Structure 1
Amino acid sequence: MENNRLAQQFDLYTRWRQSIADVLGEYRRWLADKQLSDVQIEERIQQQLNRLREDKLNVAFVAEFSRGKSELINAIFFSGYGHRLLPSGAGRTTMCPTELRYDNGKPVSLSLLPIETSTHQISITEYRRTPQAWSVVEFDAHSRESMVEAFKEVSRTRRVTVEEAQSLGLYHPEQPDDAMLIGQDGLLEIPCWRYAVINFPHPLLKQGLVILDTPGLNAIGAEPELTMSMLPNAHAVLFILGADTGVTKSEMEVWRRYISGARWKQKGRMAVLNKIDGLWDPLKTDDEVETELYRQLQNTAELLGLPRDQILPTSAQKGLLAKVKGDQVLLQKSRLLQLERNLSDELIPAKQEIVRESIQGEIEDMMQQTRITLETRLQSVLDQTDELRCLQGKNEDVIAQMMRKVKQDKVNFEVGLQRYQALRSVFSVQSNQLFHHLGMPALKTKVRETRDTMMKAAFTKTMRQAMDDFFSDLKRRMMDADVHVLEIKKMMEAMYEKFSKEHGLLQKTPPPFSTSRYLKALNKLETIYRDQFNTTFNMIAHEKLTLTSKFFETLASHVILEYEAANRDTESWLKAVIAPMESQMREHHVQLKRRVESIKRIYQATDTLEERIADLEQVELSIRQQLAELDQLNGKAMFALAHEEVIVQAA
């Protein structure tokens, strides 16, 4: 395969993820060996390992037809095959959104979702869970003919009536450009497929790269899921323009509505000025050609509102040819290598930082919890050793008095244990109230009620009110949940402080948590709804049936996904809040029993003081050794997380 900069950086990024997974695996084995593991921490480690293993890097390519988008994908990622992997040529080649990825659990294949599914109230995300809805074409990844033949499917079209195209959301009578698509026979050409997924064992795809090939304005507008999640959540979006055409009116609309704007993150958004070979002119000097290209780049940057260095000129066709032929001069002239450099330098470090931020806090918290357990054990052993040393040279009465004191400590702890059980009950009630605000049944009921209201609505105002009420209710519930999170946090802080004073437990601040990130996601979805549909023009321009059955269903499915994520993360946080106290109470109880047993055996003369003190000193050494080993593991984890090899500016 080609050894380009993106491939090199991605390989380093994959090795970085693996280094963190290796440390987590070592930590898990160490916990088991030292009998420090429990179900809760095992679950948390597995969650982080799954996150690292399933991590994806999403790159979307967006362009109007005939801008060389598929050729650019071939040039950057697939030139090592010596031929075009994706169909590329004059006219429209990619007719439906096409996703390239690799899932080891599935056959090498092309999965195709029929365009007819657009009329159903089911999003692409939901269809992913319904394998029988897809047509599957398996192919041989080692056969050029097999791959080329299979990938032709993404270009397949059929001719339909205006009414059918309209019902599929692919024709809008009020748009003049759409009227021009009608042929002399009164029919329109539409794609056969709504969405395509190519499961292909390319090295980068196997490492977690996901490529989204998105056809023009009509295809984006007809599939709300692209605008709601796929494009906004992509780690990089490359908007491909033609150097010969500049930025057209329809491209400005694509940029403004679907890629730029306040609701999108601006990092990773780049424009590619393709087909610069069209400016190469043997009758002009190199300086004249460069001046013309510079002017085009400046104009593009001004129109799109992007910094000049985020407008990248290239010739995908010449770059692909140069790579296949091994022509270094042509490769440099195509400027493809510079595009790859910019993409990798922008994309990989940003993605690395996202993963680092999401995992570092979890690792630190887990290791801190283990440290608390060990320090609790150590303190108990030191206290026992001090008690026994105080008994050296004392008579039986003093030992009996110590026995009574330890037993009283045990009684006091049992009272504290009852208080803890009461706290556990209150915590359970509070948790249930928190989940009531985030309840999935209530959410699904609200979705159903809103859908029914919109379907029955006779006027635009009623539909708008239904959507406004929908989001208002969702956000209120999320804010109520956040208030409840704060109440639980304050209650647990107070209880940690109380148990610290009364029983010597190490005080621990509950980990931070807020539902604000989900509220932010809801606000983003609401912005999409308002931008695209909450105006009189758009409400009239889109049929009510299309709006309710497609846009709303897609929007609702993403709201449900956000609520499911909020429920999962809330459950994890609640476990993290109560687990240290449970662990310390359990450990304290075990150590108290050992203290009672130790003094009892001395009192009954079955052990000598010296023997017992020597045993405790060995236990102390063992615990200190475990703390040192934990420090080493923590150091390894922090070094792996901070390692910046991925973003070293390699030649």
Structure 2
Amino acid sequence: MSKLVEKFREYSVWRTGVVSALERYRDAADAAGLADESSGQRIAHMLSRLAGDKMTVAFVAEFSRGKSELINAIFFADYGQRILPSSVGRTTMCPTELLYDDRMPPSIRLLPIETRATPLSTSDLRLQEDAWTVMPLDVSSADSMLDAFRQVGLSKRVPVEEAQRYGLYDAADAGSGMTVGADGLVEISRWRHAIVNFPHPLLKEGLVIVDTPGLNAIGTEPELTLNLIPNAHAVLYLLAADTGVTRSDIDVWREHIGAGAGRMVVLNKIDSLWDELRTPAEVAGQIASQVDSVAQTLELAPSQVFPVSAQKGLVAKIGKDAALLEKSRLPALEQALSQRLVPGRRELMQLQLHAETAELLASRQSLLSSRMRNVVEQLVELKSLRGKNQNIVAHMMKRIDMEKADFDASLVKLQGTRTVFATLSDELFECLGMDALKRDIRVTREAMEGSMFSLGMREAVRRFFSQVEGNIILSSRKVGEIGEMMTVMYRRFSAEHGFALSTPMPFSLKRYADEIEAIEAAYQKQFGAGAMLTTPQLVLMQKFFDSIASRVKQTLVTANRDVEAWLKVVMAPLEAQIREHRDQLKQRRNSIERIHLAADDLEVRVDALQRMQAVLEGQKQALAACEAGLKAALAAELPAPVLLFA
């Protein structure tokens, strides 16, 4: 526990440092008059990302493998007793998220199982407060919290038809663990999903714990397959030393989890191998043999399997028994989890922020450089007028007027570019927009409802993905056209008017295309071409599509938001320097005109520009200091992670 707390606090300190550095840079840019709507939005987006940063750890296993006990041992031992119910049999009946949101009071939000009869996914229903049953959580009483948590494990008995309508029962699936009782009823969970808002120190720091209700739920609850497990930063896959690796264990590992960064196998209940009649070395040898067997079966290195006794680890922590804690081997798992989870998340956040801040800093530097260059040019221009007659001054006024005429001509050309830009943007959102997606979802649902055969339903879903992927390809082409057009305009204004512009900010829809591809791959694993599906499986396929549609919608909503932000940003540096150049031309014309009328104004204007030059130099130094502080905050080192996986 202490290592996890330490790592989370280090990460929290790093985030706080980056937030402070970003705010200082924002204030410095604002004080220098360099802030605009585009830069403000970008900084606000980065601050929001840091404030809302979460790290998710998912616990996956068949029931009776000790998931809830392991969560208690790792996270909640300080309460002096179990917080999550843990006993023989199935105690977690629905996917449960433990998190903290300071905008809400401590509570348990429970989504009734009846919502599975609607076309809405769990993600859709998160936004509908009236769909949830809310229970207050008394965090001052461990017993009260334990009683509240027991609500998550409540079940009820329903007719077979009702269980099938929810996609929870298939008579042909002998491995589901669900049977029809003598009363003709099937036992199902009372709840579809639970969200526990709990002000635990680690949860306050952004940790989210996901407790799954068993392997069967992975096949029947699309939220787990499409969202919670794939997006978890760490997945702890539990096996039990007293049961070994079952066929379903292997299938779930290969199809839904698999080896990779943040995926850890935990061999629980090693205390079942403890034997007073054997020496410690013999017991350790037997545990090592079990670890080797699990590693071979799952095609892993033995170092990727962590043998523990969650129950003994919890007892040891509560009783402050250091020897028993060491024997439980829980500290080794906690160490591995802390070293892998936090540094990995920080590295990802750091890479994202580096890219965003680089563009932000470059655009502000270009604008400030443009101002300084214009001031220097004005100074050179005005100093050259010393001792010159009125005819030369008049000639310089005409030259500025010619510059302005050339610049105005460029702006006319830019107006044509703006028109094309608006047209391409409209075409882009027509391909990527929500109207097209809603139409595709409606057409697919109608086709699935009209076909109760697996071939027809698979074809409807195939067409859906083909349409979505085609729209992303078309959108990518529009993004490319806009990028090329803006590159030409950047180069033209830089060459013709001396603008300090680098290439436009690049943008790609590849990340969103990859997300859609991953969603399709998850669907193919469960319902791809192959054996004919039973009627209950066809019902489940329809439920799965509801979640697929929700996930695709979330992905495209994010893509639309990011495209919209990029369209504002890609034009912003050019627009800012156009405004700056226009103002400078006006100031130069006014200055020389006043000098033409009154020669005494020359030295006054030179003096004013020199003071302005000093002010700009001071702003440049202040901004450079804030830039250096921001880069240092981003690069601040945390202890190097221990690489668990090659």
Q: Which moved more, 1:423-432 or 1:192-201?
A: 423-432
Name the structure 2 match of 1:216: 214
Aligned to 1:487: 481
Deviations 1:357-389 (A, max 9, x none): 111111111111111110000110111111111
Q: CA separation in 2, counterparts of 1:307 and 1:601?
A: 81
Distance 1:455 1:607, change over 3 A: farther
Aligned pairs for 1:297-308 within 5 A = 297-308=291-302
Map of 1:563 onto structure 2: 556
Q: Is the 8 A contact 1:9 1:647 kept in 2?
A: no
Structure 2 equivalent of residue 405 of structure 1: 399
Residues 552, 324 of structure 1: CA spacing in aligned structure 2 closer, same or farther, 3 A cutoff? same
| 1:112 aligned counterpart, secondary structure | strand
Q: Does the CA contact (< 8 Å) of 2:266 and 2:306 recur in 1?
A: yes
Q: Could you give the per-residue CA deviations for residues 563-605 of structure 1, whole angstroms, max 9, x where no partner exists?
A: 1111111111111210000000000001111101111111111
- Residue 173 of structure 1: SS of its match in structure 2? coil
- State the partner residue of 1:100: 98
> Does structure 1 conserve the Cα–Cα contact (< 8 Å) formed by 2:167 and 2:539?
no
Residue 478 to residue 540, structure 1, CA distance change in 2 (3 Å): same
CA distance in 2: counterparts of 1:453 and 1:98, whole angstroms: 33
What is the match of residue 268 of structure 1? 262
Does structure 2 retain, via aligned residues, the 8 Å contact 1:496–1:507?
yes
Report what 2:604 is aligned to: 611
Report the Cα offset of residue 553 of structure 1: 0.6
Distance in 1 between residues matched to 2:89 and 2:437, nearest whole Å: 45
Match of 2:174 among 176, 193, 205: 176
Q: State the match for 1:293 in structure 2.
A: 287
1:176 to partner: Cα distance: 2.1
Cα contact 2:25–2:630 (8 A) shared by 1: no
Distance 1:178 1:433, change over 3 A: closer
Residues 59/527 of structure 1: CA separation in 2 closer, same or farther (3 Å cut): same
CA contact (8 A) 2:93 2:189 kept: yes
The secondary structure found in structure 2 opposite 1:197 is: strand
Match of 2:164 in 1: 166
Q: How does 1:44-443 map to 2 (within 5 A)?
A: 44-178=42-176, 181-260=179-258, 266-443=260-437
Aligned-pair distance for 1:514? Answer: 1.0
TM-score, reference length from structure 1: 0.96
1:14 aligns with 2:12: yes
Alpha-carbon distance between aligned partners in 1 of 2:12 and 2:600, rounded to the nearest angstrom: 57
Classify the secondary structure of the residue corresponding to 2:492. Answer: helix
In the alignment, residue 394 of structure 2 is paired with which amino acid? A
Distance (whole Å) between structure 1 residues aligned to residue 289 and residue 519 of structure 2: 37
What is residue 475 of structure 1 aligned with on the other side? 469
Q: 2:565 aligns with which of 546, 568, 572?
A: 572
Q: Is the 8 A contact 2:152 2:194 kept in 1?
A: yes
8 A contact 1:220–1:227 mirrored in 2: yes
2-structure distance, mates of 1:570, 1:646: 36
Which whole-Å CA distance do the structure 2 matches of 1:252 and 1:641 have between them?
Answer: 41
Name the stretch that deviates more: 287-296 or 423-432.
Answer: 423-432
Structure-2-length-normalised TM-score: 0.97
Aligned to 1:640: 633
In structure 2, do the counterparts of structure 1 residues 178 and 435 end up closer, same or farther at CA, with 3 Å as the change threshold? Answer: closer
| Bigger Cα displacement from structure 2, 3-12 vs 604-613 | 604-613
Structure 1 Cα separation of the partners of residues 499 and 178 of structure 2: 76
For 1:377 and 1:607, the matched residues in 2 are separated by 25
Is 2:509 the counterpart of 1:515? yes
Per-residue deviation, 1:541 = 5.9
- For these two proteins, the number of residue pairs brought into alignment is 642
- Greater shift, 215-224 or 599-608, is seen at 599-608
Which residue of structure 1 lines up, in the alignment, with residue 624 of structure 2? 631
User: Which structure 1 residue ranges, 5 or more long, are not aligned?
Assistant: none
Deviates more, 1:13-22 or 1:578-587: 13-22
The Cα shift of 1:130 comes to: 0.6
The answer to whether the 8 Å contact 1:455/1:544 transfers is: no
1:444-481 residue CA offsets vs partner (Å, 9 max, x unmatched): 00110011011101432222221111111111110111
Q: Quote the Cα distance in structure 2 between the aligned partners of 1:541 and 1:17.
A: 50
Change beyond 3 A, Cα 1:646–1:57: farther
| Residue 29 of structure 2 is aligned to residue 35 of structure 1 | no
Q: Which amino acid aligns with 1:312?
A: F
The alpha carbon displacement at 1:540 in A equals 3.0
Distance, in Å, in 2 between the alignment partners of 1:436 and 1:566 is 13
Is the 2:28–2:626 Cα contact (8 Å) retained in structure 1?
Answer: no
Structure 2 CA distance for partners of 1:160 and 1:230, relative to 1, 3 Å: same
RMSD of equivalent CA atoms: 1.5
Q: Deviations over 1:40-77 (max 9, x none)?
A: 21111111110000011011000111111101001111
Alpha-carbon separation, structure 1, partners of 2:628 and 2:93: 51
Taking only the aligned residue pairs, the percentage that are identical comes to 45
Counterpart residue type for residue 480 of structure 2: L
- 8 Å CA contact 2:367, 2:500 repeated in 1: no
Paired AA for residue 580 in structure 1: P
State the alpha-carbon separation in 2 of the partners of residues 49 and 180 from structure 1. Answer: 47
1:388-445 per-position Cα deviation (integer Å, ceiling 9, x unaligned): 1111121111111111111221222222222222221221111111111102101100
Q: Measure the CA separation in 2 of the matches of 1:386 and 1:539.
A: 82
